[in-house]
């Protein structure tokens, strides 16, 4: 049951991420930063896509995704439509992997030590859902501050 509840949370927030990226009226604003804002919405979107495709897709779901975390923060000016497409692809991966995930698997140890201690897959997926929500809020706030015209 927890696996399916996590899937609902991820899919809800990824749909909202897709919506937020699509709501930018001026595409170039996706890549703007201002004083006190260190990451653009475009880079946060790339970071979330990379994070979920790596930890849920590649590590847990055994997809062939290869993460380039540095590029998540250094890439610029990727078209808005491409970002939306990347989020859609991530939705498909998360949906497929979590649909096949059992609660027993969530109780198992996650195969990577991401923080300083070992943890269960369920604990880490709850962390990833919080991480998605955190950056989603930043993107929403960024859009309302930067893309107001």
Give the model confidence (pLDDT) of 87-143 as tens digits.
999 999 999 999 999 999 999 999 999 999 999 999 999 999 999 999 999 999 999
Q: Contact 13/136 with Cβ under 8 angstroms?
A: yes
Q: What is the CATH number of the domain that holds 133?
A: 1.20.120.450
Q: How many domains does the chain have?
A: 1
| Closest to 41 (Cα-Cα) out of 33, 49, 50 | 33
Please say if the pLDDT value at position 78 is more than 90: yes
Q: Which domain holds residue 130?
A: 2-146
Q: Where are the alpha helices (DSSP H) in the chain?
A: 2-23, 41-52, 69-74, 80-99, 103-107, 121-146
pTM score, whole prediction? 0.96
Q: Contact 40/139 with Cβ under 8 angstroms?
A: no
Please say if the pLDDT value at position 149 is more than 80: no
């Amino acid at each position: 049951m927890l696996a399916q509840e996590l899937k609902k949370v991820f899919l809800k927030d990824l749909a909202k991420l897709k919506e937020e990226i699509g709501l930018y009226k001026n595409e170039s604003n996706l890549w703007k930063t201002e004083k006190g804002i260190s990451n653009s919405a475009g880079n946060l979107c790339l970071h979330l896509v990379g994070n979920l495709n790596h930890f849920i897709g590649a590590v847990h779901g055994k997809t062939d995704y290869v993460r380039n975390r540095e590029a998540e923060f250094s890439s610029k000016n990727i078209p808005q439509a491409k970002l939306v497409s990347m989020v859609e692809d991530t939705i498909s991966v998360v949906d497929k992997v979590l649909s096949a995930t059992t609660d027993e698997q969530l109780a198992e140890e996650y195969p990577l030590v991401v923080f300083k201690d070992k943890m269960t897959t369920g604990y880490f997926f709850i962390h990833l859902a919080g991480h998605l929500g955190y950056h989603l809020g930043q993107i929403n706030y960024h859009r309302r501050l930067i893309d107001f015209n």
